[in-house]
Chains A and B, each alone.
Chain A
């Protein structure tokens, strides 16, 4: 039995004369879709598998399909004779273009056997001479296959060998998708052993050492089973490269850490094994530090570096780590240029004023779904760009040693104790390739039909249709993009209750959070009005400065949830903003938060202030029509019932009773929406109920929990009667009495006409098993839902039919919109350019364009 090694991501080229058993072999050892057969596609393009005139088109089809499959990272088998060198060269080129390994399997069968098999076929009629010529070609060239570029050549001689062969498909070394961490990714250490130990301690690791000198053994433990993942460049420049190597080698050997190589390891390896290399750029320091170590230690270092894999794809493909970064097309691939990219990155071929090569800004073009975390290029602050993050914060140059917690995406840093090495170029964002873009021009090509990578880890799709809708909204209806620093997410309801007469009940919301490990939730009164984002500046100058709108006379804006101006009347908006501003002044808000602007997420009441047209054209007339029709019908039914002798259907008494019930339902519907309407003559009749203090200068306050938000905002609301505080309570989900009390409160609140409540995990952004969970669930009351599901939704069997709703799509959208909206806000607060902020806003609106049940 022969075992043929075929790497999981490779292009397998079968080589053999017609009738040598290629197709039979392929069908036995590879998947149905993995095999591309020239015979099959000759048939597809010509209706005749034997039509040699169709070979050119068939091969073009084959190459096209193989190209698509390899781009998608799928093993592909070419089932054609491939006895000609120029054909094989075509496949080798294709494999290289996709950075996959070309593999040849040669079927060396006596020409007589092939000819006999071909004779036996119905559809193919060519002579034995053709088969003999193919076999001759093959025999001449088979020994050249390695030279042609095939990385594996399996030569099967004879029918028996072919029958006995089995295929083994090892996964690529880079594939660690089944490793879910959690990890702490650590950037370029460069021999900074003290900072490394401090960082490990900060991250919660306990490092122990047993033994002395080269024989010492390091071990590491973490209470949550986390593992450090080193992004290369452990050595050079710093004071303790040997000690860093010693520690990391021990951990990697024990399986308690993961490491990928950097360019400095590659250089050290070359020096260790060949004695060659330029000792500049810090290598001399490492050479000196390794000198007192024993020969065995140095050999171990060389072996260790040799065994390092260029990059890894981890955590179901969500994380890619490589020292110098990784293009999407290269991730998980194997070739010389992939390894070179992982170690050195790409350069433009130009040098900067310090004589250093200008790196090609691959991250700017990155559109992958996987987060790429890398080091290599020292920068002052780690900042996500298109779902990529460089965490080399230049420790050895006196910066910081930074780690990224995965999957939490939190950054942890320790400062360098000193400058160990003067950088050639000051530590700053390196000069990028000059862009021909205008800095402030809005551009949606960045996101249209792609995904917005967010720091919350949610990759938000922006479909072309959704993007088109967003462009229309933004171009025709929305406020100036500079005001649009955030848009709020939609909110999903809890899953449907099974209780009689209820679609929603707090139990389901509590159960959702309990199941996801949330211990405490905050229940908030759900105000029934219209969502409003309120931007308030301390004065007009502050707004002009921060939002870059020099012509704005007004020191703030009130925006609807889709980014429109909330008020058509400037005076009303100005008056409302003035009231909020004086409440902020009085509370000393500006000083407390060291800011001169604030973004509040709020509900603005009454509903009728914004929804008047809807009430006039829809809610009012439905009630009027129902009242008139039901009253007239009741009278007629009663009159007829009094004199009717016989009835072939329901008797009229039953119809009368049903009609009376419908009239009651309609009255309840009317009462439900009338509660949310009152006349507004001026700003005094408005109520603003802020529930999130979203951002101030330098801060997005999603790191504070909802208790903080509620307490801070309640304090603020005391300053003005038009500010309405939100009734709220903190509920410990393990405390049955507290849960019951919250449920009772919801029952009483909704019975008294309240819309319902919003249940939020105590933390603003809560995660379960590393993934973001719903930030809030609404639980709406029975009466309120009449406004949503229609006056008669509780009658007959209607409710049971309505229960078959699914909240999944809505929940997905809620998370995507949350991530995109906060991404926009984080970017704004970080002072990023307008187009970057705007991309998040476009993504929210594109998600909003998705068709989803409007009743949810």
Chain B
């Protein structure tokens, strides 16, 4: 809510001409979500300081704002927005100091573009990247950076430091440059926007930062954060800023890249897993298949691409994952012989589900380890005893193989959401028990490169209902 800008240029009161603000006056500017006040705590020949104070109306500010998933449901109402220098601040600065026209000074033309010693103090900015990011953003632009991290709460020192910082930037440069840096970098530091980010923001970014951003070592970070990680916009902005960069804004660039990666790099484990499951289904003559725990739908894509699979059901317990799968499968652009074979929706392996009835196969690829082990009897009741498909395919990590992953700490799981990872005897004992109780025969197969003692990274169980062969 506060920014002070100090100069020791002689005479320091020239700052008033550049900003078109008389040092003996205080002014107020009404803005949509509050009022911006400009005042001069000091204005001598040696040193002058102008202050921008924002009075934010918290109620107007929250209207129409979505809550972030990281914070609680009350984040809209209990938040630091009225207090920190954020994107609101950049907008207010633009309105009050007229960032775009500060390069020209009608009354004192010689001042426009004149480098002068300037210092900006922001008592509170929020920066999740910490001091390192602050320095990486401002130091390449020639600032001396003084940054101090604030605690989470004075009364609870054990709660540690917060993402809030007090920041002072000092440099000798034209005022217009400093304003343009702040205009772009305050929202980047804060990494949140009080308004919708669209193509207009790309234009503003190019207009304000065109001359310095292209050469900034953090230009990707800046562009990404400024444009709220909307990749289409980010690509467009970078292309305008750096015209020589290769044009990747191809409709199916993602798929092209993925295809390249598949050729260049050794086959990735998830691809091998998918292909093994597909081959297993094809070998067993299954034509109607459900992928339970389908995630973003890679296996669904492969199944739909093979006309032999006449009915494909994709279920996932996460509505968000189902939505992502729907997007990634580009169902709105697919021919009807794709969409008509697919049923995609929210569902879980622990619930009996009519959509799983009368199918040849149900596959559970890397699913069981995401549920608590005590839920497995529910899965058994729902899938093996309930839906009773002819074939069930289950894959899960082989924990013994973790020793071969260099990046993994001993005892850690491969994914934060894994509730367990099993070695081969444990998996085989569970699968054998299920098979015996529910009338299935089961065989096991490794997926991925097999280590002679530790086995393969992934283990697979293929259940076949007895009497169905």
Of the candidates B159, B348, B386, which one forms a contact with A438 in the assembled complex, judged by CB atoms under 8 Å apart? B386
Q: Is A624 in contact with B150, judged by CB distance below 8 angstroms? A: yes
Knowing A624-B153, A790-B78 are in contact, say whether A629-B83 is a contact too (CB < 8 A). yes
The CA-CA distance from A471 to B319 in the complex, in Å, is 9
B341 within 8 A of A: no
- List which B361-409 residues lie within 8 A (CB) of chain A: 370-372, 374-375, 377-378, 381-382, 385-386
Q: Is B79 in contact with A620, judged by CB distance below 8 angstroms? A: no
Knowing A616-B159, A621-B152 are in contact, say whether A640-B80 is a contact too (CB < 8 A). no
Closest to B370 in A: A476
Residues from chain A with Cβ under 8 Å of B162 in the complex: 620-621, 624
The CA-CA distance from A738 to B372 in the complex, in Å, is 52
The CA-CA distance from A668 to B39 in the complex, in Å, is 28
Q: What mask results when residues 81 to 95 of chain B are scored 1 for a CB within 8 Å of chain A, else 0?
A: 011100000000000
Of the candidates B53, B74, B155, B354, which one forms a contact with A674 in the assembled complex, judged by CB atoms under 8 Å apart? B155
A549 within 8 A of B: yes
Q: Is B74 in contact with A637, judged by CB distance below 8 angstroms? A: no
Q: Which of B65-73, B329-337, B425-433, B459-467 participates in binding chain A?
A: B65-73
Residues from chain A with Cβ under 8 Å of B301 in the complex: none
Q: Which of A54-62, A189-197, A439-447, A526-534 participates in binding chain B?
A: A439-447
Q: Is B386 in contact with A441, judged by CB distance below 8 angstroms? A: yes
B370 CB → nearest A CB, Å: 7
A658 within 8 A of B: yes
Knowing A444-B351, A475-B350 are in contact, say whether A791-B1 is a contact too (CB < 8 A). no
Closest to B351 in A: A442
Q: Is A629 in contact with B2, judged by CB distance below 8 angstroms? A: yes
Interface of A is mostly: helix
Knowing A633-B53, A646-B26 are in contact, say whether A469-B319 is a contact too (CB < 8 A). yes
Q: Is A637 in contact with B39, judged by CB distance below 8 angstroms? A: yes
Knowing A471-B317, A637-B39, A646-B24 are in contact, say whether A621-B346 is a contact too (CB < 8 A). no
Residues from chain A with Cβ under 8 Å of B152 in the complex: 616, 620-621, 624
Residues from chain B with Cβ under 8 Å of A472 in the complex: 317-319, 346, 348
Closest to A788 in B: B74
The CA-CA distance from A649 to B156 in the complex, in Å, is 40
Q: Is A792 in contact with B163, judged by CB distance below 8 angstroms? A: no
- List which A606-665 residues lie within 8 A (CB) of chain B: 614-633, 636-637, 639-641, 643-652, 655, 658-659
Q: Which of B40-48, B280-288, B445-453 participates in binding chain A?
A: B40-48
Residues from chain A with Cβ under 8 Å of B39 in the complex: 636-637, 640-641, 644, 652
The CA-CA distance from A619 to B25 in the complex, in Å, is 37
The CA-CA distance from A315 to B53 in the complex, in Å, is 64
Knowing A620-B159, A621-B163 are in contact, say whether A628-B150 is a contact too (CB < 8 A). yes
Q: Is A655 in contact with B53, judged by CB distance below 8 angstroms? A: yes
The CA-CA distance from A264 to B403 in the complex, in Å, is 77
Q: Is B72 in contact with A629, judged by CB distance below 8 angstroms? A: no
A65 within 8 A of B: no
Closest to B384 in A: A438
Q: Is A615 in contact with B159, judged by CB distance below 8 angstroms? A: yes
Closest to A611 in B: B72
Closest to B50 in A: A640
Residues from chain A with Cβ under 8 Å of B236 in the complex: none
B316 CB → nearest A CB, Å: 9
Residues from chain A with Cβ under 8 Å of B126 in the complex: 621, 625
Knowing A469-B319, A471-B347, A640-B40 are in contact, say whether A614-B72 is a contact too (CB < 8 A). yes
Q: Is B348 in contact with A648, judged by CB distance below 8 angstroms? A: no
The CA-CA distance from A445 to B345 in the complex, in Å, is 13
Closest to A834 in B: B378
Residues from chain B with Cβ under 8 Å of A788 in the complex: 74, 77-78
Q: Is A471 in contact with B123, judged by CB distance below 8 angstroms? A: no
Residues from chain B with Cβ under 8 Å of A481 in the complex: 350, 378
The CA-CA distance from A468 to B351 in the complex, in Å, is 12
Q: What mask results when residues 456 to 475 of chain A are scored 1 for a CB within 8 Å of chain B, else 0?
A: 00000000010011011011
Knowing A441-B352, A625-B84 are in contact, say whether A644-B78 is a contact too (CB < 8 A). no
The CA-CA distance from A645 to B173 in the complex, in Å, is 30
Closest to B378 in A: A442
- List which B131-183 residues lie within 8 A (CB) of chain A: 150-156, 158-160, 162-164, 166
Closest to A835 in B: B352
Q: Is B83 in contact with A625, judged by CB distance below 8 angstroms? A: yes
A140 within 8 A of B: no
Q: Is B319 in contact with A614, judged by CB distance below 8 angstroms? A: no
Residues from chain A with Cβ under 8 Å of B386 in the complex: 437-438, 441
Knowing A442-B352, A475-B317, A674-B155 are in contact, say whether A618-B78 is a contact too (CB < 8 A). yes
Q: What mask results when residues 198 to 230 of chain A are scored 1 for a CB within 8 Å of chain B, else 0?
A: 000000000000000000000000000000000
B447 CB → nearest A CB, Å: 25
The CA-CA distance from A443 to B371 in the complex, in Å, is 17
The CA-CA distance from A786 to B145 in the complex, in Å, is 36
B258 within 8 A of A: no
A692 CB → nearest B CB, Å: 25
A481 CB → nearest B CB, Å: 7
Residues from chain A with Cβ under 8 Å of B73 in the complex: 854
Residues from chain B with Cβ under 8 Å of A475 in the complex: 317, 348-351, 371
Q: Is B25 in contact with A645, judged by CB distance below 8 angstroms? A: yes
B212 CB → nearest A CB, Å: 28
A196 CB → nearest B CB, Å: 44
B150 CB → nearest A CB, Å: 5
Residues from chain B with Cβ under 8 Å of A645 in the complex: 24-25
Known contacts A441-B378, A469-B319, A629-B123; can you find 18 more A-B pairs with CB under 8 A?
A: A443-B351, A468-B346, A471-B317, A475-B317, A480-B375, A549-B374, A620-B162, A621-B126, A624-B151, A625-B150, A628-B166, A644-B40, A646-B26, A650-B37, A670-B155, A788-B74, A790-B77, A802-B59
Which residues from chain A sit less than 8 Å from chain B, CB to CB?
437-438, 440-445, 465, 468-469, 471-472, 474-476, 480-481, 549, 551, 614-633, 636-637, 639-641, 643-652, 655, 658-659, 670, 674, 677, 679, 787-793, 798, 801-802, 835, 854-855
Which residues from chain B sit less than 8 Å from chain A, CB to CB?
1-2, 4, 24-28, 35, 37, 39-43, 51, 53, 55, 58-59, 70-75, 77-80, 82-84, 123-124, 126, 150-156, 158-160, 162-164, 166, 317-319, 345-354, 370-372, 374-375, 377-378, 381-382, 385-386, 417
The 8 A-B residue pairs with the shortest CB-CB distance, nearest first, are A649-B28, A639-B41, A620-B153, A640-B39, A854-B73, A468-B346, A632-B123, A475-B348
